[in-house]
Amino acid sequence: MADDALSRLRGVLAELPGAVVAYSGGVDSSLLAYAAHRELGDAALAVTADSPSLARSELAAARAEARRLGMPHRVVTTRELEDARYAANGADRCRFCKEALMHVLSAVAEAAGGRPVLLGVNLDDLDDHRPGQRAAREMGARFPLVEAGLGKAAVREAARELGLRTWDKPASACLSSRLAYGVPVTRDALRRVEDAEEALRGAGFGGRIRVRDQGGGLARIEVEPADVMAAAARGPELAGLVKEAGFRYVTLDLEGYRQGSHNLGLTPERNR
């Protein structure tokens, strides 16, 4: 099955004259960047967008994996935080983030001779509230994983087949996604979330960890569902760690991690 998925992906990529691949270091973008490198050689450039919404550990891991795989790689700076629409953190925040990303990547692609810009969106991503995907499409991005018919499970299987260390890496959206809609996105808010999540990892919790900023100094911790009872048993300890990061109040979500849980507050109309 992995061979079939990779064959379809190679077929999509083989038609391209080159590529600029948005590379965050997650499994989707890693598979796409490495497959493009294998198919197109140095005509495929992996580009990591660096901003305050990218955790430092994620940036370091992306750089290290690109070096290990021998992929041409560049880090560029995006300034979405300077956009008042993005900082306001409405339900359409991701649109403005992707617009900032696409402006930078499009400039890199143009300087490289007009290469297409590729994003690591898979079929399963299309089901969530992601206005950024629409913005990226409108600005000319292509989604080769979607074009090849790859969902998340197929992506992970293909990544494992290729020997990518990220094949089982937990999903990790940008730090801004931890802020409830309406809570302003600031450097301090992003740092607070990053520090709190790093503290929880240091306390021994792995997998998908989120510290959600609900506003008013309130943090909502999400851990893997299997770890909820262990986290509850260590409640005072974990609360202390999160408060040290800058929060005043700390809660534990008894349902555990849920992708895009802030989106549950959106109306059906805005969730489309």
> What digits encode the pLDDT tens for the residues 150-191?
999 999 999 999 999 999 998 888 999 999 999 999 999 999
- Higher-confidence residue: 3 or 2? 3
Q: Average pLDDT, stretch 243-249?
A: 98
Residue 194 belongs to a domain: yes
228-237: long-range contacts at Cβ-Cβ below 8 A with a sequence spacing of 24 or more?
228/252, 228/253, 228/254, 228/255, 228/256, 230/205, 231/205, 234/203, 237/203
23 and 128 both lie in a single domain: yes
User: Are 182 and 158 within one domain?
Assistant: no
Q: Residue 239 sits in a domain of what CATH number?
A: 3.30.300
| 168 domain-assigned | no
Residues 233 and 141 in one domain: no
User: Mean pLDDT across the stretch 218-241?
Assistant: 98
pLDDT-derived band at 267, boundaries 50, 70, 90: low
Please report, for the domain that includes residue 29, its CATH number. Answer: 3.40.50.620
pLDDT value of residue 272: 39
The answer to whether position 264 is within a domain reads no
Has residue 269 got a pLDDT over 70?
Answer: no
Residues 23 and 121 in one domain: yes
Q: Is residue 20 part of a domain?
A: yes
Select from 136, 162, 188 the last residue of a domain: 162
State how far the Cα of 90 lies from the Cα of 94, in Å rounded to an integer.
9
Looking at residue 270, what is its pLDDT?
A: 43
Clarify whether residues 52 and 142 are in a common domain.
yes
For residues 188 and 145, membership in a common domain is answered with no
Q: Label residue 266 by pLDDT band (50, 70, 90).
A: low
Q: Is the pLDDT of residue 271 over 70?
A: no
Question: Are 62 and 183 contained in the same domain?
Answer: no
Q: What is the domain range of residue 226?
A: 175-252
94 is catalytic: no
How wide is the angle at C-alpha 50 spanned by C-alphas 45 and 55, nearest 5°?
A: 120
In-domain check, residue 153: yes
Does one domain contain both 138 and 185? Answer: no
Please check whether residues 156 and 184 belong to one and the same domain: no
Q: What is the pLDDT of residue 131?
A: 87
* 45 within domain boundaries: yes
Query: 263 falls in which pLDDT band (50, 70, 90)?
Result: confident
pLDDT category, 1, cuts 50, 70, 90?
low
The predicted structure's pLDDT at residue 2: 72
The reply to whether 46 falls in a domain is yes
- CA 73 – CA 46 distance, rounded (Å): 5
Of 158, 174, 200, 219, catalytic: 174
Mean pLDDT of the chain: 93
Residue at 258 is within a domain: no
Percent of the chain with pLDDT over 70: 96
Same domain, residue pair 21 and 46: yes
- The total number of structural domains in the chain stands at 2
In this structure, are 124 and 198 located in the same domain? no
Mean pLDDT of 194-217: 96
pLDDT at 223: 97
Residues 12-27, mean pLDDT to the nearest whole number: 96
Domain match, 11 and 145 both: yes
Residue 249 pLDDT class (50, 70, 90 cuts): very high
